[in-house]
A and B are shown apart, each in its own frame.
Chain A
Amino acid sequence: MRCSLYSFAFILLLSSCASDYKHLQKSSGDVACAQRIVPGYSGTSWYDASIDVTGRHMSGLLLIKSMPDSSNRVVFTNEAGITFFDFSFSKDGDFKIITVIKQLNRKSVIRTLSRDFALVLGLPFNSGNFERFTGDEKVYYGVRQKKGTAYFITNKDCASLQELEWGTRRKRIVSVRLPGSGYPAPDRIELDHHTFSMLIKLTRIKKE
């Protein structure tokens, strides 16, 4: 009995150590595909935002706006118009808080949101130093960051962008899915976190 418990714990340990990326094989770069499909946000869009985080639900409106100086602003308000945060991202990835309410002004929250929206904006891919990996009938174009790697994922024949992803060496951190039209201003954006329960769904609002 004790032996089987140890075996079970060992299997659990092994499975928790298994890399989410072990199936990927490094392959030679397809520069043309990467350049054609690399995600990059531009324009101005308001999104209806739905956020489920660790069993709690909230909603609001999210504005993504490309500024004349090539920076981007991401502003979240509630439906009644009160601004909860306003973040600025420069083209080279510098992040600045314009305003944030006290309830959200926590290091872990800011780090998560800034990383998530930098990925949505496609900022990690501006450097253009892609590494190419293949696996599961998909092609991963990865750009190494300080902590982890940002990927954009295409199908095998590079016909369409499928997902964006942040990951460490072993673990997927967050996936960005685009169920509707794609870049430069996707109709729908879903940010799904894999290390804790958080799902952000954004649906573009058609302004009157």
Chain B
Amino acid sequence: MYELTSYWMRTDMSTGEKILTGRVFWLLVAACCFFCTPGFSQYDGYHAVSNLDTFKQRFKTESSKVLSIESSFVQDKVLTALTEKITSNGKFWFKRSNKVRIEYVSPFAYTMIMNGDKLLLRDGQKENRVNVKSNKLFQQVNRIVLDCVQGTILDSKDFSVRYFENDKTFLMELTPKTKIMLEFFQTIVLKVDSKNFSVNSIEMIEQTGDRTTISFLDKKINTQFADAVFAL
């Protein structure tokens, strides 16, 4: 014998036990179906890319046309559990192929220059030169940055990728496959301008849920600047 306690719940009269009604069961089934559908996106305002092969081909073609980028950037690091955020900003340069300079200007000074297999880290007066080949972690980080800006990230075997889009942006959710990357990242979310396929932002989500978002602003694509920017 059951008594309907509410729309969601009924009570077994003999035991007094409260049981979910069949309506709730079917609602849960429907929710599972919806969230497991390939078209579902956990990213607000995005849906799954409709024609993946066309997108991949266009992404490859268009991003290969990007020979250089000069931009400023804003970086937000959020420590979720501590409700702390620190914002930094600086300048970014890229030149095909394999040349990147990331220069933090405020609130601290720090420069990272990647030029082929060589990496220079400069904080204040101190400089640290690293041969990327001899350091697996630097090698992977170097690869991610370059693959993201050069548009070769989709060819990477180090990540599984999910693709989403809205009318202005493509969003790629990269889940690391390698042990070394999994130690640092849960996912990396790359947002790309759907007009010129240049990177708008890179969001790195750590295993703890802490996240760092680098947003690129005032992008100048394929302008001329001296190679001296990448001098090591």
Contacting B126 at CB < 8 Å: which of A59, A61, A99?
Answer: A59
Query: Are B79 and A63 in contact (CB-based, < 8 A)?
Result: yes
B126 touches A73 (CB 8 A): no
Determine the chain B residues whose CB is within 8 A of the CB of A61 once the complex forms.
77, 86, 108
**In the complex, what's the smallest C-beta–C-beta distance from B106 to chain A, in angstroms?**
7
Residues on the A chain within 8 Å of B79, using CB:
63, 75, 83
Query: Does A50 touch B at the CB level, under 8 Å?
Result: yes
Q: Which of A27-35, A153-161, A200-208 contacts B (4 or more CB under 8 A)?
A: A200-208
- Determine if B84 and A79 form an interchain contact, defined as CB atoms under 8 angstroms apart: no
Q: Which A residue's beta carbon lies closest to that of B76? A: A81
- Which A-chain residue is minimally distant from B211 (CB atoms)? A81
Which one of A44, A58, A102, A205 contacts B183 once the chains associate, using CB atoms below 8 Å?
A102
Contact B124 A50 (CB under 8 A): yes
Beta-carbon contacts of B193-212 to A below 8 Å, as 1s and 0s? 00000000000101110101
Chain A 41-53 interface mask (CB, 8 Å, partner B; 1/0): 0001010101000
Whether a CB of chain A sits under 8 angstroms from the CB of B107 is yes
Smallest beta-carbon distance A96→chain B, Å:
13
Given A46-B86, A206-B107, A208-B107, also A81-B204 (CB < 8 A): yes
Say yes or no: is A65 at the interface (Cβ < 8 Å to chain B): yes
Contact A208 B212 (CB under 8 A): no
Interface presence of B15 (CB below 8 A): no
Chain A CB within 8 A of B104 CB: yes
- A205 vs B89: C-alpha distance when bound (angstroms): 14
Describe B's contact surface by its main secondary structure.
Answer: strand
Specify which chain B residues have a CB less than 8 angstroms from the CB of A80 in the assembled complex. 75, 102, 112, 141, 212, 214
| A44–B84 touching, CB < 8 Å | yes
Q: Decide if A170 is an interface residue (CB 8 Å cutoff).
A: no
The reply to whether A73 and B82 form a contact with Cβ atoms under 8 Å apart is: yes
Which residues of the other chain, B, contact A58 by a CB distance below 8 angstroms?
128
Contacts of B82 in A (CB 8 A): 63, 65, 73, 75
The reply on A82 being an interface residue by CB < 8 A is yes
Looking across the interface, which residue of chain B has its beta carbon closest to that of A103?
A: B137
Task: Check A169 for interface membership: any CB of B closer than 8 A.
Answer: no
- Expressed in whole angstroms, the Cα–Cα distance for A205 and B184 within the complex equals 25
For the complex, is B159 an interface residue (Cβ under 8 Å from A)?
no
Is residue B87 contacting chain A, with contact meaning CB distance below 8 A? Answer: yes
Chain B residues within 8 Å of A102, by CB = 183
Q: Are B184 and A207 interface neighbours, CB within 8 A?
A: no
Can you list 7 A-B contacts with CB-CB less than 8 angstroms, sorted by A residue number?
A50-B124, A61-B108, A79-B108, A82-B184, A99-B208, A205-B107, A208-B87
Q: Which residues of B contact A (CB under 8 A)?
A: 75, 77, 79, 81-82, 84, 86-88, 102, 104, 106-108, 110, 112, 121, 123-124, 126, 128, 137, 141, 183-184, 204, 206-208, 210, 212, 214
The 3 nearest A-B residue pairs measured at CB:
A81-B212, A59-B123, A81-B77
